[in-house]
Every structure is written in C-alpha cells, then in structure tokens.
Amino acid sequence: MATDRTSLTHLEREKASVFHSWSAQSTINPLMVRDAKGVYVTDEDDKTYLDFSSQLVNVNIGHQHPKVVKAIQDQAALLCTIAPQHGNEARFRAAELILDHAFEGAAKVFFTNGGTESVEHAIRMARLHTGRHKVLSAYRSYHGATATSINLTGDPRRWPSDTGSAGVVHFFGPFLYRSTFHATTEAEERDRALENLERTIQFEGPSSIAAIILETIPGTAGIMVPPAGFLQGVREICDRYGIVYIADEVMSGFGRTGSWFAFEQHDVKPDLVTFAKGVNSGYVPLGGVILNEELSASFNDRAYPGGLTYSGHPLACAAAVAAIEAMEEEGVVENARRIGDDVLRPGLLALAEKHPIIGEVRGLGVFFALDLVVDRATKEPLAPYGASSPAMNEIVAASRREGLLVFNNFNRIHVVPPCTVTEAEAREGLARLDRALAVADHYYVGT
C-alpha cells in the first residue's frame, strides 16, 4: 500500500526518498527548484536566483531555450527512442554538427549518456588502439565518478574509490599560482611541467602507456588555464611515445571558454575528445567521444567491444542539434567570449581590489574561479584542500540570500553563468557576489 505523504513538505519528501550525490544524506538542504528561464532559477517559495553556476556548469544555452524545448517536443511526438544498432536522423545530424565544430580530421562520434561514460569509452578505445594499459592524468582534475574515471580523477573524491590497480598514474600539471615546480613565470611553469611529465613517462615505461587524459582547462579543480604552449608540448610528447592524447572537454566544451572547444585556443589537435554537458545543455542526458581518423579506423575491421542501450538517444540528439544550431544562429559562443573579456574579468579583478580574500582571479569566457585566501602573502586557502570551512559556508549562504547561485569547491567560488548571459545580468551577478563576499572579509589575516 502506498504511504500517505501529504502532510510532508516537498523538501521533506525529497530528503526522505532521494539519495543525493556526494553527500552525507542527513546534512543536505537542497534548493527546491520549481522552474527556470534564461539565467534565472525560481524556487518553490517564488524566490528567483541568478544562476551563476549554470547548474553543474552545463546549462550553457540558458534554461528553457524555446528552440531546444520545441525540438525535444517535436522529437518526442515523432520517435522517443530507438535501439543503438538502428540509424536515426537526429543522431547523425548531431554527430555532423559536433564534428563540424571539432578539429580537422575529426572522423566520428560515439554517443554516451554523459561525461563519465565518455571518459570510460575514450580510455577503452585508447587501450585497444595501442594495446597498452596505463593511463596518465593530472592531479587537480575531475573526470567522472565511475570505475576508471574516478580513478583518473585527481582530487580527494577519488580516495574512497581508488582501486590502486586501475592502471592510472597521476602527475602535476601547470598551475603557477600554487606552483609545484617553484616557478615564477608561466613559461617556467610550462617547461617544468612538461619536463616532469616526460620524466614520469620515461620512469613509468613509455611502451606501457596508452593515453594521457587532460581537461583542456581543469574545471572543478580550479579553472587553471594552461600556459601558452603547454598543450602543444603534451601533443609532442604523445607523438614521441605513441601515446593517445585525450582532451576532456566535458566542462570546457561548447562555448564555455568563448570557443566551441577550449583546445582550439591552444592550437592543438587531440586524438580523442570527451564531451557532455554543454552539447545540449543537459536538457536530456548526452555525452560522447569524438574520434580522429586513426582511432576510428582502428575499429573498421574489428568490433568495438562496448555499447549502450541509449547510445545516440533521439531525444538527447534532437536537443543537441537544436542547441548547437541555436548557439550558431544567436552567436552564443561569441557572447561568452565578449562577456568574459568585457565584463567578468574586469569586474572580478575590481572585486579583488576590494576583497583581499580574493587571492587570484583565473579564467576566460564564462569560466572563472576566485581562489580565496586568508593571506595573500602565504596564499593559505580560505578552506583546506578537500574540505569546506565556516568562511566558505558563509559566502555560499550569503550568495543564496542575495539570490545568486554559485559553484563552490574547497576554497574557491566559480563564476560560471550560462554562455547566453547578458552584460546587465553579468553585472547584476557581480554586484550580488560583491555583497556575498563581504561576509567573509573579516577572515582575512594578511596585511
């Protein structure tokens, strides 16, 4: 017999029945969202929030874009689902559009349901292609939460699930603000990070390494834009040792950095690209792997040993077609770049003048991080690595009170609105953030 839950609030019902990600279940206090439009989200109490988080940095085209909603409705009326072995127009059109925006020599798309599956399959493809097993990934990275992808992840979320036998080796990538290499310039950081990577490969045994996977710009780990030439250096190292270069563009792809893919701005061509999130702004779950000709040809005459019931799901693919076409027609990617250059970067640097707790402003497009510190001289973070702190909790709570949703992780606040955000909305968000940061100014102990 069904339980009578009518006396409970929606929040109580949510907490009683839904097991939430990454959380101690008794401590959660989810925002009960009723609806959303553009860059605004409205909760069940009718309070409206400016979404400077794009939810999980995925709603690149903004909420409820009418063309994407209509495409899903039209596709639902025509054909909701189809087995992966059949063909379908929504699927091949989505693949064509993705390839058109990828890189010269991008040959095929394998569709998945999201980011982590894309990473799992990209690694499987690289292993089968090279006949090697080991994979290198960076500390300060996030690649997903399933078997191999959580092992690849270079942050504390890996620790409880680390098998220690997944064939993953981590290395430090470039990050000048908190340099592992005692570097003082971007060029030094780049050269030392590349030298360290190559040495790691030599000591691990080049002939055992299938792939290097790198977020083009590490996202969750802190939006560290790599120094000019670093990714080209990685490409050269991969070529030297016959290693597959996988660019994880799950977060940085589809406009977020002011270009379709972030690797474009670094003038490199990966062998495989993993994508998800912004491909259709998460209106229906979708991810995938873009394969270059060589990797794709590897499976021309032998079967690829992998598949998914929902690979290339028509509703998800129709949403991708509509989202990409709308982004082209409406100049959404250009908007992201312009907002970053003209509003967010100068606006955030102005906030740093006012709030000494902002140790560094990093990013581009609609992809910025504030690295918060208690002392600019020591760079001691406002929350320890892998944890939160009263100061961070206060900033996040104050943002909510101000009607602003931000992405926060450890000692960082990420400013990651939809790529469609207008100048006025971006300025309004910065004003709200300014007021929210003020609650933690007194934690600063530096001079």
Ligand X SMILES: Cc1ncc(COP(=O)(O)O)c(C=O)c1O
Interface with ligand X by CB under 6 A: which residues?
114-116, 119, 142-144, 215, 219-220, 248, 250-251, 276, 287
Minimum Å gap between C-beta 159 and ligand X is: 17
Comparison of 215 and 371: residue with beta carbon closer to ligand X: 215
Smallest distance from the beta carbon of 278 to ligand X, in angstroms? 11
For residue 420, how many C-alpha atoms fall within 13 Å in the half-sphere facing its CB?
Answer: 24
CB of 158 to ligand X, least distance (A): 13
Coil, strand or helix at 245: strand
Calpha distance 33→47 (Å, rounded): 9
Q: State the DSSP string of 193-210.
A: HHHHHHHHHHHH-GGGEE
Alpha helices for 216-292 (secondary structure H): 230-241
Smallest distance from ligand X to CB 218, Å: 8
Instruction: Tell me the C-alpha distance between 58 and 316, whole Å.
Output: 14
* Residue 256: exposure state from Cβ atoms within 10 A (0-12, 13-18, ≥19): buried
Amino acid occupying residue 392: M
> How many Å apart are CA 135 and CA 148, to the nearest integer?
10
- Closer Cβ to ligand X, 414 or 432, answer by number: 414
According to the 3-state scheme, what is the secondary structure of 42-77? Answer: EECCCCEEEECCHHHHCCCCCECCHHHHHHHHHHHH
Nearer to ligand X, 51 or 215 (CB): 215
Task: Give the span between the Cα atoms of 234 and 248, in whole angstroms.
Answer: 14
Please, what is the minimum distance in Å from the beta carbon of residue 145 to ligand X? 6
- At 171 the three-state DSSP class reads strand
* Identity of the residue, 103 or 407, whose beta carbon is nearer to ligand X in the bound complex: 407
Output the residue with the shortest Cβ distance to ligand X: 115
Pairwise CA distance, residues 139 & 109, whole Å: 28
In the complex, least distance from residue 128 CB atom to ligand X, rounded to whole angstroms: 21
Question: Which amino acid belongs to residue 423?
Answer: E
For ligand X, the closer CB: 252 or 399: 252
Q: Closest CB to ligand X among 183 and 276?
A: 276
Query: Which residue number, 23 or 202, has a Cβ lying nearer to ligand X?
Result: 23
Identity of the residue, 115 or 255, whose beta carbon is nearer to ligand X in the bound complex: 115
Question: How far apart (Å, rounded) are the C-alpha atoms in residues 231 and 110?
Answer: 24
Structural contact between residues 197 and 158, judged by C-beta atoms closer than 8 angstroms: no
The DSSP result for 406-442, as a single string, is: -EEETTEEEE---TT--HHHHHHHHHHHHHHHHTTGG
Of 142 and 310, the one with the shorter C-beta distance to ligand X is: 142
Distance of alpha carbon 102 from alpha carbon 97, whole angstroms: 9
Instruction: Please name the residues in contact with 370: beta carbons below 8 A apart, sequence gap of 6 or more.
Output: 348, 351, 352, 358, 360, 361, 412, 413, 414, 415
User: What does the alpha-carbon distance between residue 371 and residue 398 come to, in Å, rounded to a whole number?
Assistant: 18
Is 276 or 413 the residue whose CB approaches ligand X more closely? 276
Closest CB to ligand X among residues 250, 343: 250
Nearest residue to 219 via CA among 274, 167, 168: 274
Tokens standing for residue 361: 């402003």
